[in-house]
Structure 1
Amino acid sequence: MVWKKITMVFAVMIFGTALAFCTAVKAESASAIRYFNQQSGIQVSTVPYGNNEEAGNYVQAGDAKLYYEVYGKGKPLFVFHGGGVGTPYEMGQLIDKLRQDYQVIVVSTRGHGRSEIGHSPFTYEQKAEDMLAVMKKVTNEPAVILGFSDGAYTAYKVASMYPERVDRVVAIGAGTLKPGFFSGEMKVEDLEKIDAAFIEQQMKIMPEPERYQEFCDNYMAFWSKMEVGEEFLKTIQCPVLLIAGDEDDHAPMVTMVEAAQYIPNASLCIVPKAWHSAFIDNFPVTWTAMEIFLQTDRAKLTGSRKVAYNRL
């Protein structure tokens, strides 16, 4: 009721502007969405990021058609969500803030949401090529990349392979990684037991829902062999802000500290009382760290001083 009254007041004061604004809100809110295991009473945004056809676009990347959405104006900033059961909507609160000052491009990675799976084996080289296809479609200038978990590792790979395309990276929950850390199975039927509404939602959005279990199998096989270490991380030359939840068991804090040591121009923010999704668990600290990093002139982003371990 309060929102309706406010809208009516604005309609009287500036009818044309208010009408356009209300139309945009209505379009963005047309298709409700949730992120995996979203707790009751929590809504990260009123905008259904990842399922907002009004802002949606497609680009062909290799053997898969990828879906992305564009919001706002300004310097291009790409958002790469988490993998497996990840969705752009989980990063909605960050996107809401970022789109006020940036042109935000929200990408659904292959096999997620409205993007196709394709038939090529999963590799991070492939993921980087996928993102490059979207980046080329949208802009020619160096962009900011915000990545979470799987999306952060993809951001690392893009920055390493195509340094001229990347201005800086914000990486949440992506430290060093040894093969076998992520292993086991990801069964759709088990995911349904945790969050049936989310799986039903994804099945409706996916262009190939009959391949959901195939995707899960191939995705976990890929992740079980993943290795991210010093040799690779040293190839990333752009400024990087690593953000780590102090209770993260997917990217334990020690692995984030290691990554910050290896990436030449990296800074690290440890978010207290936060799990893997630090931006949901403790948004104020996460956002403050990001905002300072994003607003600082690149020439001044020299990273933290690398101090050797205190041991004999």
Structure 2
Amino acid sequence: MKRTIAHLVLTALILSSCNNTNRPEQTKTHGYSEVNGIKMYYEIYGDGKPLVLLHGGGSTIQTTFGRVIPMLAKHRKIIAVELQAHGRTSDRGKDATFEQDADDVATLLKNLKIDKADFFGFSNGGTTTIQIAIRHPQIVDKIVLGSALSKRNGMPPQFWDFMKQANLTNMPQELKDAYLAVTPDPKGLQIMHDRDAKRMVNFKDIPDEQIKSIKAKTLIIIGDKDVIKPEHAIEMSRQIADSKLAIIPGVHGEYIGEITTLKSNSKEEDYVIPMMESFLDK
């Protein structure tokens, strides 16, 4: 009974978060755009130079960025999107790839008449940001790569073993509840999970020459207890010529208050976001 009550309370909090708290007064626009065969959901906050936010796997805009959007929107026009099969964005009936996600974001920005932007991608969104910088450099100014993966050896071997056996029951409950709060479709939740799991199982290294081709000024952020190995972030910072590296105390996503880390009650975003803004504004 206690577990049921706790689950109901968590669901209510997520619903409130998705519908109210994390869509604050500075929201300018939210809607859908026809993008390469899918209806892509986006939200726009604030005014100023565009900064595109790309969420992690299995996530929505709010589960990844809900804690930091109000901070970032004070000085920027924030364009936050939900990628294929995630949150409110539809599925195209094909496997998800980081390359396709990158092309989808580029098309969305064209539809929104945004010629160039900065990008902040977290986790899978960070890998998508790498692909945007490689495939669409003309739309990129600066990029922030939060816990981004470019090589399989960037993860411990047990991660890949886990992904081969991934199933919906192992997905963090906070992420499942958040998806169903904005898209009450259990079949859609299963599709999102399966697309993300298959993409990771089939993940192939991004070639060194492609990483080295990135010309955008880059800030790489990682937690010292991240699922991504610190050595991987260090190597990527050496491959991208104009890059900086920040290793922050905490686990995967704790430095931006990602929803599964909220129980830690940390406030790392209070100094990470100003650091990121300082990088973007130089």
Partner-residue secondary structure (3-state), 1:130: helix
What's the CA shift for 1:286?
A: 1.5
Correspondence for 2:279? 293
Distance, in Å, in 2 between the alignment partners of 1:234 and 1:198 is 34
Partner-residue secondary structure (3-state), 1:119: coil
Correspondence for 1:166? 140
Structure 2 residue identity aligned to 1:64: I
- Aligned counterparts, 1:256-295, within 5 A: 256-271=233-248, 273-277=249-253, 278-280=255-257, 281=266, 282-295=268-281
Distance, in Å, in 2 between the alignment partners of 1:257 and 1:201 is 33
Please tell me whether the aligned partners of residues 59 and 133 of structure 1 are also in contact (alpha carbons under 8 angstroms). no
Number of aligned residue pairs = 251
Partner-residue secondary structure (3-state), 1:186: coil
Of 231, 235, 250, the residue aligned with 2:213 is 235
Correspondence for 2:48? 74
Is residue 2:16 matched to residue 1:32? yes
Correspondence for 1:14? none
Of 156, 164, 177, the residue aligned with 2:130 is 156
CA distance 1:201–1:242, shift in 2 (3 Å): closer
What's the CA shift for 1:218?
A: 2.8
CA distance 1:164–1:207, shift in 2 (3 Å): farther
What's the CA shift for 1:232?
A: 2.3
What's the CA shift for 1:220?
A: 1.1
Correspondence for 2:188? 211
Q: Quote the sequence identity (%).
A: 25
Q: Which runs of no fewer than 5 residues in structure 2 stay unpaired?
A: 1-12, 258-265
CA distance 1:201–1:138, shift in 2 (3 Å): same
Q: Which runs of no fewer than 5 residues in structure 1 stay unpaired?
A: 1-28, 35-44, 297-312
Please tell me whether the aligned partners of residues 239 and 265 of structure 1 are also in contact (alpha carbons under 8 angstroms). yes
CA distance 1:267–1:82, shift in 2 (3 Å): same
The Cα offsets for residues 27-63 of structure 1, whole Å up to 9 and x where unpaired, read as xx995137xxxxxxxxxx92248xx998321111222
- Aligned counterparts, 1:38-187, within 5 A: 46-48=21-23, 55-85=29-59, 87-178=61-152, 181-182=159-160, 183-187=163-167
TM-score, normalising length from structure 2? 0.80
The Cα offsets for residues 236-285 of structure 1, whole Å up to 9 and x where unpaired, read as 11101001111112x111110011011121111111x2111122252233
Larger Rg: 1
Partner-residue secondary structure (3-state), 1:246: strand
Is the strand fraction higher in 1 or 2?
2
CA distance 1:144–1:259, shift in 2 (3 Å): same
Distance, in Å, in 2 between the alignment partners of 1:257 and 1:62 is 35
Distance, in Å, in 1 between the alignment partners of 2:14 and 2:238 is 45
Please tell me whether the aligned partners of residues 85 and 191 of structure 2 are also in contact (alpha carbons under 8 angstroms). no
The Cα offsets for residues 122-176 of structure 1, whole Å up to 9 and x where unpaired, read as 2222111110121112233310101101111111111111111011101110144
What's the CA shift for 1:222?
A: 1.2
Please tell me whether the aligned partners of residues 116 and 138 of structure 2 are also in contact (alpha carbons under 8 angstroms). yes
Correspondence for 1:199? 176
CA distance 1:81–1:205, shift in 2 (3 Å): same
CA distance 1:30–1:259, shift in 2 (3 Å): closer
Is residue 2:214 matched to residue 1:255? no
Partner-residue secondary structure (3-state), 1:260: helix
Structure 2 residue identity aligned to 1:81: H
TM-score, normalising length from structure 1? 0.73
Structure 1 residue identity aligned to 2:74: Q
The Cα RMSD (Å) is 2.7
